[in-house]
């Protein structure tokens, strides 16, 4: 049976349609409607190995379907990995020994730790910047080798001016954008000048908290893609076919999940901003948020992540303990609403407030979500 997919026939449809249609098998009578999971470590060979899958480290039909779908959504060529951090480490290989990287002042602690490892092992120089300060990013990038952006940032929700930065940097430096929070439905960094887009597909793309998977996406024809592919093939940081299948199935409902989660997040952010226990709130959908105008201009929506700051760590921990519906968890982007005090991790950046709670808003009834939050916060008095 052919494993051909629908690559190259995506130009005329919108991203929410692509999430449903890209990566489907060819329309052959009696063929599966969806790409089945293929469990195989070894494939039947041919005299010319360039035209065969060859071995399980090099390819899998289930991977190919997911890579086509994510690539179509981002407007590029995708590679999938065993986790978001495996993908992040692969992207950091694009930074040469002794090179200089520009990194958000607040970013995912796993990435910050990975960069610290490069400082120790390879003499890399790190320049930390506020991604919301476009001039500061450009100044730091003047003679850098790689600029790494999150937008919005994890967990403090700063937003970068990706169109301005991409236009200024695309010909000068490798630009990597972590698009996990926004997803390709809200922004497509490759179209704005990025060279590599990163996803922890464990999060919103998979959406069901049941599979670890990462992805990198490059512009078509970018030589970085071949370099990343060769590294993945040799090092074997590949996903299992079942994980690829689960994430592909989850991707099909990304648009409807994100619509519901965003609508919930907007309501909750507005109510949280008025609660006496909340000292500060970061959500780009609020007109009072510093990123509101920029996010409204550069993104197709404000996303489903909220950061709130309570008085201190004790208040934040007490809130978590009182919650009944919200799940205390370190991941995010699932159908269920979850939250976490990020500074409970020893490696979290000291710039993240002790009382900060990162909320990942799910698709439950918003009134139930609010009732649970309100009773937990009211109980702090």
Active site residues: 57, 108, 178, 203
**What is the rounded (10 degree) CA torsion for 307, 162, 261, 309?**
0
Alpha carbon 55 to its chain's center: 29
Nearest to 344 by CA among 317, 325, 371: 317
Phi, psi of 192 (to 5 degrees): -105, 5
The CA–CA distances, whole Å, from 320 to 25, 103, 375 equal 44, 30, 11
CA-based nearest residue to 201, from 74, 95, 106, 358: 74
Residue 52: exposure state from Cβ atoms within 10 A (0-12, 13-18, ≥19): middle
Contact 56, 2 (CB under 8 A): no
Residue given tokens 């403090």 in the structure block: 156
* Cis, bond preceding 15 (omega within 30 deg of 0): no
Is the omega angle on the peptide bond into residue 155 within 30 degrees of 0, that is, cis?
yes
Q: Which helix (H) or strand (E) holds 146?
A: strand 146-150
Establish how many alpha carbons lie within 13 A of residue 324's alpha carbon, considering only the half-sphere containing its beta carbon.
7
Would you tell me how many other CB atoms lie within 10 Å of the CB of residue 274?
Answer: 8
| Residues contacting residue 288 through CB under 8 Å, at least 6 positions apart | 273
On the CB side of 272, CA atoms within 13 Å amount to 32
Q: In this structure, what are the phi and psi dihedrals at residue 283, rounded to the nearest 5 degrees?
A: -155, 120
The Cα–Cα gap between 330 and 341 comes to: 9
Q: DSSP secondary-structure letter at 35?
A: P
- List the Cα angle 248/254/260 in 5-degree steps: 155
């Amino acid at each position: 049976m052919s494993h051909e997919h629908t690559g190259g026939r995506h130009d005329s449809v919108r991203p929410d349609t692509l999430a449903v249609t890209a990566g489907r098998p060819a329309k052959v009578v009696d063929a599966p409607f969806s790409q089945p999971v293929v469990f195989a470590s070894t494939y039947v060979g041919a005299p010319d190995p360039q035209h065969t899958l060859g071995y399980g480290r090099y390819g899998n039909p289930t991977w190919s379907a997911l890579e086509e779908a994510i690539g179509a959504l981002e407007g590029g060529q995708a590679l999938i990995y065993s986790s978001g951090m495996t993908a992040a480490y692969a992207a950091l290989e694009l930074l040469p020994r002794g090179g200089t990287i520009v990194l958000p002042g607040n970013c995912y602690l796993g990435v910050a730790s990975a960069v610290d490892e490069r400082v120790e092992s390879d003499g890399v120089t790190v320049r930390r910047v506020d991604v919301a300060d476009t001039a500061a990013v450009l100044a730091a990038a003047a003679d850098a080798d790689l600029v790494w952006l999150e937008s919005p940032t994890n967990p403090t929700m700063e937003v970068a001016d990706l169109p301005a930065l991409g236009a200024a940097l695309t010909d000068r430096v490798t630009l990597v954008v972590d698009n996990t929070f926004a997803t390709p439905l809200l922004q497509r960094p490759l179209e704005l000048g990025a060279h590599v887009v990163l996803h922890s597909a464990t999060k919103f793309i998979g959406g069901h908290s049941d599979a670890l998977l990462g992805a990198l996406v490059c512009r078509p024809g970018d030589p970085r893609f071949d370099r990343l592919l060769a590294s993945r093939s040799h090092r074997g940081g590949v996903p299992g076919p079942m994980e690829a299948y689960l994430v592909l199935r989850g991707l099909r409902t990304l648009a409807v999940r994100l619509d519901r989660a965003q609508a919930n997040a907007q309501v909750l952010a507005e109510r949280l901003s008025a609660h006496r226990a909340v000292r500060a709130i970061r959500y780009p959908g609020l007109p009072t948020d510093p990123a509101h105008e920029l996010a409204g201009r550069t993104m197709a929506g404000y996303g489903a992540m909220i950061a709130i700051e309570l008085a201190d760590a004790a208040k934040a921990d007490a809130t978590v303990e009182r919650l009944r519906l919200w799940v205390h968890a370190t991941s995010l982007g699932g159908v269920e609403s979850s939250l976490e005090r990020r500074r409970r991790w020893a490696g979290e950046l000291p710039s993240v407030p002790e009382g900060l709670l990162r909320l990942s808003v799910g698709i439950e009834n918003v009134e139930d979500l609010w009732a649970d939050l309100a009773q937990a916060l009211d109980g702090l008095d």
